[in-house]
Each structure stands twice: as structure tokens, then as C-alpha cells.
Structure 1
């Protein structure tokens, strides 16, 4: 969201599970107001691709995105 205008300029790149089979799922979003970095931790609800464009199996991941020109660009993925 653009803090000056309130306009939504980009959405999360995926939906993420909040409640898993055991009643919980790891999910967190980390950002700082003075940074273009967005970190999303959790299990994606839909298929997803890695930095290299290859489809990834379902799993818990830590994903690093750079927000630039009103777009989120995946820059790193760490399997949890």
C-alpha cells in the first residue's frame, strides 16, 4: 500500500495457509518502513515458483522479495 495515497499497488504473490492439519501453520510477514525488503514465511496455498522459475513442491519456506517500481520481485528462497 502506498503510504502517501493509500492506494494498493501490489498484492502478496500467493495465498498462505494460516491453519494447518494440526490447527496451526507457520506464517509471518516481516518488513520495515525504511526498506524495500519483504519477508514472507509459511506454506503457500497455491503452486509457486522459485527464483530460477522452476515450480516448487509444497513446503514451508522463507521468501525474500524486493519491492521496486510497485512490484514484488522474488530474490531468495530458504527451505524451512
Structure 2
């Protein structure tokens, strides 16, 4: 089944939120650690903005994970916020 760009952006945002929550990082802390602005990070988290590969890599590094983990589809339902 084809996936829309909106679904991919939402998935990436949800994955980033999930990993940040597990690590106890606020949006401000994650943005600072990754070297991105809070406004840009909020756009990514809300699915309004697609991160570049560079930004995705910075966020993954700040979260201690691989960029591929942040774009991988969920099995079953995604976690609730």
C-alpha cells in the first residue's frame, strides 16, 4: 500500500518524540543537543516539515540511535503520545 509524504513526516515526528521521551529529553534539550532550532524541531515533530538527511542524522545522534530507526515503519499501531 502506498505511503503518503504526510504519513512519513508524521511517522518521523512520532519516532523522534518517542525516543526523546525515553531519554527524558525536552524539545529544548533535544534541539540544543542536535544543533537545530526549537521552531524547526517543532515543525518536524508536528509533521509539518520533513527533516533533511543532515538534520535527521543530527537528531539521531542526539538521541543515541541510528537515523534509519527514525524512519522505519511501525509494526502494528504507533505508540500513543
- TM class by smaller structure: under 0.3
- Which of the two has greater strand per residue? 1
- Which of the two has greater helix per residue? 2
Identify the structure with bigger relative contact order (alpha carbons < 8 Å, sequence gap 6+).
2
TM-score if structure 2 supplies the norm length?
0.27
TM-score if structure 1 supplies the norm length?
0.28
